[in-house]
Structure 1
Amino acid sequence: MAPSIDPHALGKLPLHDLPTPEPESPRRPRKPYKFSTLCATVENPDMKDQYGSSSVPIYQTATFKGVSGEFDYSRSGNPTRSHLQHHIAKISSAAHAITVSSGMAALDIILRLLKPGDEVIAGDDLYGGTNRLLTYIRTHVGVVIHHVDTTDHASLLPYINAEKTAMVLLESPTNPLLKIADLATISQQVKERAPNAIIVVDNTMMSPYLQRPLEHGADIVYDSATKYLSGHHDLMAGVVTCNRDDIAQKLAFIVNSVGNALTPIDSFLLLRGIKTLALRMDRQQATTQMVADYLYLLGFKVHYPGLASHPGREVHNRIADGNGAVLSFETGNKELSEKIVGGTRLWGISVSFGCVNSLISMPCVMSHASIDPATRAARGLPEDLIRLCVGIEDPHDLLDDLERALVDAGAIALDVAQNRYVKVPAQDALSLAVNQLHLDGAAKKQEEWLVSAPGKVILFGEHAVVHGVTAIAASVDLRCYGLATLRNDRKLSIHLQDLDDFYYEWDVESLPWNAVTPIAPGEEHPEELDQRLVEALSEKALHEIKADQKAARGASLVFLYLYMILSKPQDYPTFSFTTRSSLPVGAGLGSSASYSACIATAALLVHRRITLPPLPQPTSAEHIHISHQGRRAITPATAEEVNRWSFVAEKILHGNPSGVDNSVAVFGGALAYARPGFGKKSGMEGIQGFKSLKFLLTNSKVPRDTKKLVAGVGEKKANEPELVNGILQSIQSISDEARRVLADPELPRDSLLSALSALMTENHQHLVTLGVSHPALETIRSKTAVPHGLSTKLTGAGGGGCAVTLIPDEFGEEQLQDLITALIREEFQPYLTSVGGSGLGILSPYAAHRTPGVPPAPQALDQVTPPDTPTPHEQIAGGAAPGADDLARDPLRAPFLAAPDAELAQWAGALGRWLYV
């Protein structure tokens, strides 16, 4: 038996009791009110306010007193929400309206009507979140989903089954291609063949003002009221309307059970927004038509029902009262689209629409990114598509802003003969873009890229992080450097100076190209590695590398994997990649992550996947890595792209990395990382305001087995859970306190150093109890403690590796030198460095941005000099060092390899101005 439902909770309105006044007399009949009047007039005859308030009050209460009143608990019913639901039903030609916490929540309660084995017919151009939820119920509930082209109503017929088809899910116009579905015809055909099927329409793009699908045969209509119904992006809400009592009863039961009904305050805000719906939409539609006409006349492919050429326009005019305020257009090139989107000022970049402010986005990168690239391609969703959501600003300002972005990106150019702007062919547009510097005449000559990335230290939380405790990691100003030099002989080579001077090269045609599935520009690497490619490279490209050269083999695999998976079909730019490091390799300081960041950056640059902006003119002749002097020239988008591919590289090297090391290597500074546990959310978060600190890193030169150490802690926890859990809780407290003091801008410097010193000592003692220290590390600790009184702890896995010693500001140079000498006598290797500095660095290729007052090194002037007719490389046996002729072709490579270890950073810094994250 169906549950008894409060009609106020449903927003029930008698189907024909729309507020159309009855005639006052036969001689003077009253005309029905217009939609804008209905929107502005919030009246519910069954719920009169006792004080006659002109605005519906907010009943901000969870419960109501009494046992027989209309309302008892706001989850089940609230007067403010009841007013809202009555109002929405009124303007939607609906008998019932239900309001919930978001548009996706609305779809969720609708899909709960389905059961395992049911079949759903859905459009092939749906909002990304809709597609994601449908995929979930297909996977976990056992519902069959058929995606079809709903612009052709006949395409649904083969999938309609009287016994199995339970629901048909439609959008018209669709998001973001503005495809038109004949809602009336589809509803009729489905009902004839499957009478029990429920027709559901997402009407968010139109709102009830422009389209009321219930009038065309739909059973359920839902809107993301976050969009046009609200209009101001100051709330989240979803609306469900229907005319069938049985469906309304079921939906109300679900909402009451789940508890996702709209809150009183959001109900009030939504009521207020609806009052101006018609007014806003009229302005937005009019401007959208102007923008669509403008882009169409320029020559772009524009998707908008207001254009005479738009497919399905006649159907749309029959079922809708307007064309809406969303349009999309194609540029022919994804990189060009990115420049246009990034070049606007009035158009805010956002995944949403329906606001009074104009918005711009690239659906494949933003709102529809959850749909995998292959599916997007199969459904005809262009990667270069730009979506415009028009607001209420002055249309001339919007057009002017858009035009400027198109010009700056090189998408349009002035035709002098016609005295107007015209569309530039996509293949030529990028070469005209002023800010695409790496493709213009000067940058095309740039043949050598020098990149660098820092190592990292774990300041607090080692080992405990495996069990859910927060770890604090920071960059260390010891760096890996990589040099990529383009070649013209169809060969690739890698030179790893710090791994026994390893060198190897490959003929590009000999690589297993039949095993690779390239990742197109703009797409992300899947969660899992391409094992087919890994195996093919291991068997065919790396088989000659000796088994005892494990580290070199792993680094070579990363190099080839990224190179191949980033390559476009038949477009294989070849280059030499050379690495050096001022960072001790294998000492637990993130050397593999800094290498991963360098090789990922080099591969992305060579494959033209990332671009570098011009630097602003510097204000000083000196550039300090730690402070950046306010310049972070590598954009966040570029840094994120590099970090994604650095993580892929780390997966190849380590299998299941946390992502901490590569994130520090790319972004620099400090971050807190946690896995689920100890009441903490998992994930990484940068520590804002981190202050650069002076540390002495001491390499014990003792190798360690990280997996064995981690397993040992796990075994100890299993055998002595009370002891180990207590230690973990203590380390969590240390990490929390360290994070607080590191981010406290008002904490005096001496207090900061004192607090960190005490926390380091305490943290190390806990690690000793866990059994992960080593006699060599304890010797280092004793040398720094007596007579110097410094705090030292292990970092990383322990069991050897490195120790970190905090150096106070007042610690004298002579005293520091004595300490360093004492450590060297014990055959340790100390490094004086700073923690918390710059992330990824790229040597600027732009001559205008070389360091003022510092003449570039002679070799820097020759960075663009691989000869036009190169001397072919001689065939070099695997593992052999490059010959003199080989080095002569790469003018920056010889001095790069020759610079003394202690002077490598200084040498690199003198080449010119570096761009940093």
Structure 2
Amino acid sequence: MSHPAPNQGLIRDYELPTPEPDSPFRPRKPYRFGTLCATVDNPDQKDQYGSSSVPIYQTSTFKGVDGQYDYTRSGNPTRSHLEHHIAKISSAGHAFAVSSGMAALDVILRLLKPGDEVIAGDDLYGGTNRLLTYLKTHGGVVVHHVDTTNPVNLHKYIKAGKTAMVLLESPTNPLLKIADLATIADQVKQRAPDALVVVDNTMMSPYLQRPLEYGADIVYDSATKYLSGHHDLMAGVITCNDDDLAKQIAFIINSIGNALTPFDCFLLLRGVKTLAIRMDRQQTSAMSVATMLDRLGFKVHYPGLTSHPGREIHERNADGYGAVLSFTTGDKALSERIVGATRLWGISVSFGCVNSLISLPCVMSHASIDAALRAERGLPEDLIRLCVGIEDPVDLIDDLEHALLEAGAITVSAGADQHQFVRATVPRGGASISRAVEKLAYNEHSARKKEDREWFVSAPGKVILFGEHAVVHGVTAIAGAVGLRCYGLSSPRHDGKVALSLMDLGNFSHEWVLDDLPWDAVTSIGVGDPHPDALDQRLVDAIQQRGLPLNIDQNAQAKAAAVAFLYLYMVMTHGGERPSFSFAVRSTLPVGAGLGSSASFSTCAATALLLLHQRISLPPLPEPSRTPDEHDPGHVHVSHEGRRALPRQVAEEVNHWTFVAEKILHGNPSGVDNSVAVYGGALAYTRPGFGRKSGMEGIQGFKSFRFLLTDSRVSRDTKKLVAGVTAKKLAEPAVVEHILDSIQSISNEARRALGDAELPRDALLSALAALIRENHAHLVALGVSHPVLEAIRTQAAAEPYGLSTKLTGAGGGGCAVTLIPDDVKDDVLHALVEGLTSSGYRPYLTSVGGSGLGVLSPYDPANYAVASSKREDADQQPSLREAFEAKGIEELTGWAEQRGRWLYV
């Protein structure tokens, strides 16, 4: 197949029906694509009046018994004309028109049954991700999200008899990643012959790409986009060649009744006629825009650029590069200013229209994807998507240049005329994750300096203040950071070993010889590249089978932590360097009490490993000129009221890898625990798929409050408790739904109060106390409390305390959380703590809502006050390890804060 430049149109011939030759001496050639688009002709459906435009059969029913049509839901002449026309330009035997692109995908996914497995890309349209998540949650369908740019990535998920569907986009939306459609289709058919290969072809349309020609079983388009071209209707089309598949699809459409209406069929037919000439103009302009942005130094995603990694594959797939591109600026706020400064580019979701559009996918089209999941899949928050229309490209570029200039993204070149622009310096602290990593991390082409510093890190635990259990059923939960923290200390060693010490998990300690680890199972993640959506199960299995000491099976918690630690260490390894070090972990958090201790550990481990592998770097600070006991502030610990010392880019990178560790520890975490451990403060979380706005949002301006956390020291069976609430909901749906609605109201009110900077503190504390009591009463009604929790609550509520208490987490034991107003006297509080202790409980006086991830700044060795007798080299700075391991839990926090200046998120 030849590949024309995007503005030339197609030059390939189509072996599709055309008029018979009028002479044996001069046969007619098959029509080109542009002619096929404009020529709406169905030999089997001639209009009785010879209408040159397909009539609109605006009727719901047809008279007669044996006619071709009886009810428009089942069939309509206008729709038949459209479907014949779509099949003709799609190299398809069958085509179906439905009410939207998502309706098309819904029809296709109804071919699945519970237990089926789907392999899908990791960069998908937000609506596709939302529907797949719904099926995963409610339909018993297993979904694997994979980077489809390399067909090999799919191999471990393709299982004969299990894999029912492979869902692809190429180019993907919005990062424009390219999949080798022919190779993937062939390899899927070899490994799982019954699996259906489905392609969302909306970005290309049949004009530029026809995936059925490359082995796809089903192709669908949101015809709202290029096929229509004017954004004046909603429509979706499905095409296939298999007769049995066509019958199943037709049955589903007729059953659910989402076929396209006659009037919309007429509009879509009209739009398709100009598809070729519209797309020629649009992709010519898109290439000009992409070239301009690339020249200015932005990271541009567009397969027409020679720098695009998938360009060669795309040129095998398609006959042009399309009219959608995206680029990053290095700063989300900068991107927002650019989008807001455009005039000709309309701020809107969707694409494919004759008018040019601009959007921020993470805020608009892909906002339904959880923020943590977006970060995990490498979707930059600063990404801008451009959907190029048919306006004059000179005007489009001029408007975009003005927006870039007004936003501060570019500036006029010194000594040049007003039309010569250069990239402006990214504002301090505004570099994107990838760009920050590129600048701060190890340069693969140069020698890597040995890491001789100790890194002292810490992260908070978390409590669910409101919404426990109800969050499982779609109610918003409010989570906050706890002042109790996990601490991790990495100490350099250069003996070819790595060691892990978990003093609070059965005093587990082990050393590994680096060369003995299962490196043959490792697929390293490049610097700046995100970890894939799925864990590398081959590496997890190899670590468990060949990388752990034999006696660790007796300590399940230590085993899980060791696997997570080694997994992160090994996949982060790059450039042939394997840092040798010891990592010791201590925790002032009670382990296993539902306070996020595993996420706190994961955050400490991820941070230390990112620093050791030189994938992140701390911001430079001025050397202190005074000793800490004079005027130098030394340790700075803020209450997370919008102030940060560690750059957000560092926090985002840590959070990404912490989430990976949490997957190893918990399988399918929500992302709440790790987000609180990294960012601190408080956030609101709503699970997707329950009709409410889903995702995680930080509660800005959250103030730190004193709380008493009381560990009941009674174990709880979280799965059994969750299952019990679900069973109660099935048995008494009206009762439980009323409780859930009430808890949602509590969460809403708490969120408003916590974020209200003008609400007096005493009024806020009073409101929180009332909400705590009300929330606990609902949890009791759900059957998740426990006699020990009620005893703790009664003890705290008694005179002279009068404090409000509720369970936190799963209940059934675990922890209780008690709000401590500012006016409670120390002696009264001390008496309560003593009383709870004498009752056999373990109380912790702490705060909720403080700082997140902390790293001890290493620039001043004098702050490392305790020297170690185990120092291997006199030139090294004093070690903290001996004192760190010797301190008692009750004195660990105070000692850590005195080590020097900490940097916090």
Structure 1 length-normalised TM: 0.59
Q: Is the partner of 1:573 in helix, strand or coil? A: coil
Matched, 1:692 2:713: no
Match of 2:662 among 632, 641, 647: 647
Q: Is the 8 A contact 1:781 1:791 kept in 2?
A: no
Cα distance between partner residues in 2 of 1:179 and 1:716: 46
Residue correspondence of structure 1 range 462-501 to structure 2 within 5 A: 472-496=478-502
Q: Is the partner of 2:463 in helix, strand or coil? A: strand
Match of 2:465 among 440, 459, 462: 459
- Tell me what 2:798 maps to: 785
Q: Is the 8 A contact 2:505 2:558 kept in 1?
A: yes
Cα distance between partner residues in 2 of 1:200 and 1:786: 67
1:455 Cα offset (Å)? 0.9
Residues 779, 572 of structure 1: alpha-carbon distance in 2 compared, 3 angstrom cutoff = same
Q: Is the 8 A contact 2:644 2:904 kept in 1?
A: no
Match of 1:508 among 507, 510, 513: 513
Matched, 1:704 2:720: no
Matched, 1:820 2:809: no
Residues 180, 350 of structure 1: alpha-carbon distance in 2 compared, 3 angstrom cutoff = farther
Match of 1:662 among 664, 674, 688: 674
1:512 Cα offset (Å)? 3.2
Amino acid of the structure 2 residue aligned with 1:818? V
Cα distance between partner residues in 2 of 1:220 and 1:240: 7
Q: Is the 8 A contact 1:493 1:503 kept in 2?
A: no
Residue correspondence of structure 1 range 320-335 to structure 2 within 5 A: 323-325=320-322
1:739 Cα offset (Å)? 1.1
Amino acid of the structure 2 residue aligned with 1:281? M
Q: Is the 8 A contact 1:691 1:742 kept in 2?
A: no
Residues 639, 559 of structure 1: alpha-carbon distance in 2 compared, 3 angstrom cutoff = closer
Q: Is the partner of 2:569 in helix, strand or coil? A: helix
Match of 1:562 among 553, 568, 585: 568
- Tell me what 1:436 maps to: 439
Q: Is the 8 A contact 1:103 1:225 kept in 2?
A: yes
1:791 Cα offset (Å)? 0.9
Cα distance between partner residues in 2 of 1:284 and 1:390: 9
Residues 632, 73 of structure 1: alpha-carbon distance in 2 compared, 3 angstrom cutoff = farther
Residues 232, 642 of structure 1: alpha-carbon distance in 2 compared, 3 angstrom cutoff = farther
Question: For 1:252-308, what per-residue CA distance to the aligned partner results, in whole angstroms no more than 9, with x for missing partners?
Answer: 555323433346897688678658745542333324555788989x9x99996899x
- Tell me what 1:758 maps to: 770
Cα distance between partner residues in 2 of 1:667 and 1:111: 37
Amino acid of the structure 2 residue aligned with 1:737? S
Matched, 1:531 2:520: no
- Tell me what 1:100 maps to: 98
Amino acid of the structure 1 residue aligned with 2:525? A
Amino acid of the structure 2 residue aligned with 1:740? N
- Tell me what 2:159 maps to: none
Q: Is the partner of 1:488 in helix, strand or coil? A: coil
Amino acid of the structure 1 residue aligned with 2:535? P
Structure 1 range deviating more: 567-576 or 430-439: 430-439
- Tell me what 1:804 maps to: 817
1:100 Cα offset (Å)? 2.4
Match of 1:794 among 798, 803, 807: 807
1:759 Cα offset (Å)? 4.1
Cα distance between partner residues in 1 of 2:693 and 2:123: 31
Cα distance between partner residues in 2 of 1:401 and 1:77: 51
- Tell me what 1:163 maps to: none
Residues 676, 283 of structure 1: alpha-carbon distance in 2 compared, 3 angstrom cutoff = closer
Say what the alpha-carbon RMSD is for the aligned residues: 7.3
Give the gaps of 5 or more residues in structure 1: 1-13, 19-31, 116-123, 142-146, 151-166, 187-197, 330-335, 370-385, 410-419, 422-429, 848-855, 867-880
Cα distance between partner residues in 1 of 2:514 and 2:214: 60
1:805 Cα offset (Å)? 1.3
Match of 1:625 among 639, 655, 676: 639
Question: For 1:374-394, what per-residue CA distance to the aligned partner results, in whole angstroms no more than 9, with x for missing partners?
Answer: xxxxxxxxxxxx999872554
Q: Is the partner of 2:548 in helix, strand or coil? A: helix
Amino acid of the structure 2 residue aligned with 1:744? R
Question: For 1:195-248, what per-residue CA distance to the aligned partner results, in whole angstroms no more than 9, with x for missing partners?
Answer: xxx999987565465689999999998644354334578976433579999998
Residue correspondence of structure 1 range 79-94 to structure 2 within 5 A: none
Match of 1:744 among 737, 740, 752: 752
Cα distance between partner residues in 1 of 2:787 and 2:109: 58
Residues 563, 79 of structure 1: alpha-carbon distance in 2 compared, 3 angstrom cutoff = same
Residue correspondence of structure 1 range 541-552 to structure 2 within 5 A: 543=551
- Tell me what 2:257 maps to: 259
> For this pair of structures, how many residues does the alignment match?
742
Q: Is the 8 A contact 1:475 1:837 kept in 2?
A: yes
Residue correspondence of structure 1 range 333-348 to structure 2 within 5 A: none
Cα distance between partner residues in 1 of 2:213 and 2:812: 73
Cα distance between partner residues in 1 of 2:516 and 2:452: 26
Q: Is the 8 A contact 1:57 1:268 kept in 2?
A: yes
- Tell me what 2:903 maps to: 914
1:533 Cα offset (Å)? 1.7
Question: For 1:552-607, what per-residue CA distance to the aligned partner results, in whole angstroms no more than 9, with x for missing partners?
Answer: 56544543343234435953222232334443445442223211222133223433
Q: Is the 8 A contact 2:563 2:664 kept in 1?
A: no
Give the gaps of 5 or more residues in structure 2: 1-15, 21-30, 114-120, 143-147, 152-164, 187-195, 340-344, 370-382, 411-420, 423-432, 623-631
- Tell me what 1:194 maps to: none
- Tell me what 1:378 maps to: none
Q: Is the 8 A contact 1:205 1:324 kept in 2?
A: no
Q: Is the partner of 1:697 in helix, strand or coil? A: strand
Amino acid of the structure 2 residue aligned with 1:513? P
Q: Is the partner of 2:535 in helix, strand or coil? A: coil
Amino acid of the structure 2 residue aligned with 1:625? S
1:627 Cα offset (Å)? 0.9
- Tell me what 1:859 maps to: 863
Residues 289, 782 of structure 1: alpha-carbon distance in 2 compared, 3 angstrom cutoff = closer
Amino acid of the structure 1 residue aligned with 2:751? A
Residue correspondence of structure 1 range 12-23 to structure 2 within 5 A: none
Q: Is the 8 A contact 2:502 2:508 kept in 1?
A: yes
Residue correspondence of structure 1 range 358-397 to structure 2 within 5 A: 391-392=388-389, 394=394
Q: Is the partner of 2:549 in helix, strand or coil? A: helix
Q: Is the partner of 2:490 in helix, strand or coil? A: strand
